[in-house]
Amino acid sequence: MKTFEASITGLTHDGRGVTHIDGKAVFVSGVLPGEQALLSLRRRHRNYDEADVVELLLRSPHRVDPRCRHYAQCGGCSLQHLDAESQIAAKQSVLEENFTRIGKVSPESWLPPLTDEPWGYRRKGRLSVRSVAKKGRVLVGFREESNPRFVADIEQCEIVHPSLGPKIGLLAQLLSGMDAAADIAQIEFAAGDDTMALVFRHLKPLSDADQTALIAFGKEHAFAIYLQPGGNSSVHPLWPEQPRLAFRIASADAAVSDVELEFQPLDFVQVNAGMNQRMMERAMSLLDPQPTDRVLDLFCGLGNFTLPMARRVAEVMGIEGEHGLVERAAENATRNGIANASFQVANLFEDQRNASWAQQSWDKLLLDPPRAGADKVLEYLPRKGTQRIVYVSCHPGSLARDAGILVQKHGFRLVTAGVMDMFPHTSHVESIALFERS
């Protein structure tokens, strides 16, 4: 095995260390800027190579011991070896660099980073399942860091909600004893405030014995058990007959009532409940909703932002592309006694400029798009009456691009922006920005 010494000079967008050999970038997992390491080449590519650490020769002062004993194998996290302050600083640096390089804009000021509890925060996700004949059992976990084709052999997860995280190994034991051990493809998990739901995707019908085993497991560990024999529409509860998943968004204003949102286990909800609460408070502060405001909420989902806003404004309309989410958002409005919020289905990646809502005047706008961003919407919105925009982003590159559009095409100022640590110990960058009409 050929080895070589190298100095780590930076981090990639996915949290790997970067060095250069003969002018070619080499990416290395588990190392930090400023460290010196003995490396071995793992894989060559045309524009970069990948290497593994043989020995760490010089440690960064920002290195910490990973809390998870599966960290070296599991690809669920990439930054547990970096202290918390440096993690958020790295994400802030990524956001700054994207604004400068892609959007050619910079905020007039920076928001302090939003952080919350860094462990046991993940209330939603997907566990991979694989029956391994050589081991004579089923593996349940996330994909391996070094080879995403394989499932990491883990017993527990430190970032998954505490009702499930310590029980990953028990799930594997359960499946290993089932008739359908080789036919369970994945397990989706979703936690409300009171209930953790597990959705078992099975490729063949389950035997009565397997269904009995799943029900017993659900009862023992207080899990709601769902089955998914086909597409998303096939998901149905096995036990109990009518599970209820819901989470509450508390109001920071004592004069404004809280909101509770019910959801289905495959619905999109913010992964981190604690950060969702803090993000909501920041978004409301930046948007500064007033009793006379008319607000448009694009990519509204279940009404995560729409319904708390409705408590504070004259009218709010949420637009979302998925019919099921719009249906449940409207039901959540009714359930919370909110009459000034309405919802419409529209594909926001297609031209909607002729839709009635796109032709109306809205005082304020909230955007919370997926990774692709909102550039298609920004071809025809905002209209001249919109004075303030809050943009919640899960991808710094698309936010930076859209910030450039808002500033250079629509005449807005990028007033302030900052990162939110929605996914601690990962390289994922969540951020929020405020734009005001110049």
Q: What is the DSSP letter of 88?
A: H
394 catalytic? Reply is yes
Whole-Å CA distances, 84 to 60, 383, 393, 422, 426: 14, 41, 21, 13, 11
Structure tokens at 415: 């007033």
- Per-position DSSP letters for 46-77, written without gaps between them: SSEEEEEEEEEEE--TTB---S-TTTTTB-S-
Sign of dihedral through CA atoms 49, 54, 57, 62? positive
As a whole number of angstroms, the distance between CA 416 and CA 379 comes to 23
Distance of CA 388 to the CA centre of its chain: 25
The span from the CA of 334 to the CA of 340, in Å, is: 10
Active-site entry in 68, 77, 157, 394? 394
> What is the C-alpha separation between 4 and 149, in angstroms, rounded?
28
Do residues 27 and 48 touch, judged by C-beta distance below 8 A? yes
Q: Report the distance separating Cα 285 and Cα 382, nearest Å.
A: 20
Q: Which alpha helices (H) appear in 297-437, and where do they start and end?
A: 306-310, 323-335, 356-359, 396-408
Taking the C-alpha atoms of residue 110 and residue 380, their distance in angstroms, rounded to an integer, is: 28
Strands 246-249 and 259-262: antiparallel
- Lookup result for tokens 């080499």: 26
Angle at 41 between CA 35 and CA 43, to 5 degrees: 125
> What separation in angstroms does the CA of 104 have from each of 186, 389, 397, 399, 407?
42, 19, 12, 12, 10
Nearest of 91, 136, 141 to residue 395 by alpha carbon:
91
Round to whole Å and give the CA distance between 117 and 275.
8
- Mind telling me the catalytic residues? 394
